[in-house]
Every structure is written in structure tokens, then in C-alpha cells.
Amino acid sequence: MSPALWARVVAHLELSPQHERLVWLLLSGLQHKEAAAAMGISPDTLKTYLNRIGIKLGLKGKHHLIVHVYAMAIALLEQPLKPVD
């Protein structure tokens, strides 16, 4: 996912910076332990973050989150960009 598209997705998700980073790491293909190490947190804390993201977005689990983010990205790609004044 391009940085520009990621910025548009993040704007719609309205997540904390830590939660945004976690989602990005998971989208990058990291497993739970790898993502936790990259963030400097424990795997249990990572699971807590995932649960909080899931509650906020109404999703269950990492796989639903990833599908949701990619579906949102596709929907955003189909929308024309608004011209900058």
C-alpha cells in the first residue's frame, strides 16, 4: 500500500498512533511476536491493542482487521481525489 493511500486509510480509521503502527506492521506481514518486538511491547500488550482496535471497528481478530483495511483502501481508490485549493 502506498504511503498516500495509507494516509487516507488511517484518516478514516481514526486510530491512535500506536494502533496505526500495529496495523501497518500486520499489513506488512509480521506475525504477532515480530510486530510486538518491532514496537517494543509484549505479545500480550499487542493482543490487547488488537482487541481494542477490534472493539472500536467492530471486528474480530487480525484477519478481519486486515480484510477491513484492504477493503477500505480499495473503496478509497475508487473515489476521485478532491482537488486542492
| Residue range(s) defining the domain that contains residue 60 | 3-7+17-76
| Beta carbons of 9 and 80 less than 8 angstroms apart | no
Residue 84 lies in a domain: no
Residue carrying the nine cell digits 485549493:
85
Residue scoring higher pLDDT (44 or 80): 44
Residue 29 lies in a domain: yes
* DSSP string for 38-77: HHT--HHHHHHHHHHHHHHHT--HHHHHHHHHHHHHHHHH
Residue 11 has pLDDT above 70, yes or no: yes
Residue 51's CATH number = 1.10.10.10
Residue 18 has pLDDT above 70, yes or no: yes
The pLDDT tens digits of the residues spanning 22-71 come to: 999 999 999 999 999 999 999 999 999 999 999 999 999 889 999 999 99
**What confidence score (pLDDT) does residue 69 get?**
92
**What confidence score (pLDDT) does residue 20 get?**
93
Number of domains in the chain: 1
Residue 82 lies in a domain: no
Residue 35 lies in a domain: yes
